[in-house]
Amino acid sequence: MSHQPDLREIQIRRITLWGSFVNIVLSALKIVVGVLIHSSALIVDGVHSLSDLATDVLVLVGVKLAQRPPDRNHPYGHYKIETIFSQLLALLLTGLGIGFIYFSVRTIWLKKPVFPGPLMILIAGISLVAKEILYLRTKKVAKRTHSSALFANAWHHRSDAWSSLSVCIGGIASVLGWGYADQVATIVIGLMIIYVSGKIVYQGLIELIEHSVDEESLQAIEKVLDSETTIAGWHALRSRKSAGEIFLDVHIKVDPHLTVEESHEITQQIEKKIKNKLSRPVNILIHVDPDEKAVSYTHLT
């Protein structure tokens, strides 16, 4: 258990640094080419890739702070810092989306058609492939580490891939003669970014309001408790998520004639079984209650 946070941080840092490298290359390529061929969509797409660098920094800082061990003022750890950083990422994305839409609507209103040419399609296509691969790799690590901030960053990569797809479509339309395709593509990019931001905000708020664990994990926990033959029953099961960890507490009923050591051994075995069933770290608190039926039977005899 003590090595899991270190391994988790290493995995998150590695994929994030790879993403930073890709973002630097793509943003430079798109902005430079966009300026040369006068493509607002490609320039905006480059700025979007550049914004990924800021989110990469937020992820690295957020995860680093969240991995600090529990202390007197934060006995449950600092994991929600990571969730808060994911919300900051979403706010950044929202601002970018609104800015992109405003810029494009303004150029259409001023009636400034542009015809960037086929080079726009080539650069956007390269970006589309690179960012989609980066999204899939980042999402895989986010699921493995249960990192809300990294998951938000993965969707930032996906939104960049979508924006590059829009640029490709806009480039094709402009080559065919539509002078406002570049601006429309930029508007579509902005709307997609705002959609992704809303999804990240919703998932973060669910976690911040102490939502229970997902249904699949909850069923796995209940299955372990139901199949445990050393207890007479269980109740008052509560769970909540905090970034990469699950916090769980439950009451179990045991034979009142058991010693404290025997009862403790039962709780240890249950904890072990639950942890083996779940993929993420689990903090479990089990309260032992005497079985009321056994107490009543003992009193009558």
**Helix axes 148-175 and 40-66, enclosed angle (nearest 10):** 170
Residue 23 CA to residue 3 CA, distance in Å, equals 30
Residue 253 CA to residue 226 CA, distance in Å, equals 12
Q: Which residue reads 């901030």 in tokens? A: 149
| pLDDT value of position 137 | 92
SS3 of 120-177: the string is HHHHHHHHHHHHHHHHHHHHHHHHHHCCHHHHHHHHHHHHHHHHHHHHHHHHHHHHCC
- Joined together, the tokens standing for residue 288 give 């032992």
Phi, psi of 285 (to 5 degrees): -120, 115
| pLDDT value of position 298 | 43
Residues of the chain with pLDDT under 70: 1-6, 54, 63, 66-67, 75-78, 113-116, 148, 210, 242-244, 279-281, 294-301
| pLDDT value of position 297 | 41
Taking only the tens place, the pLDDT of each residue in 170-199 is: 778 877 877 777 778 778 778 877 887 888
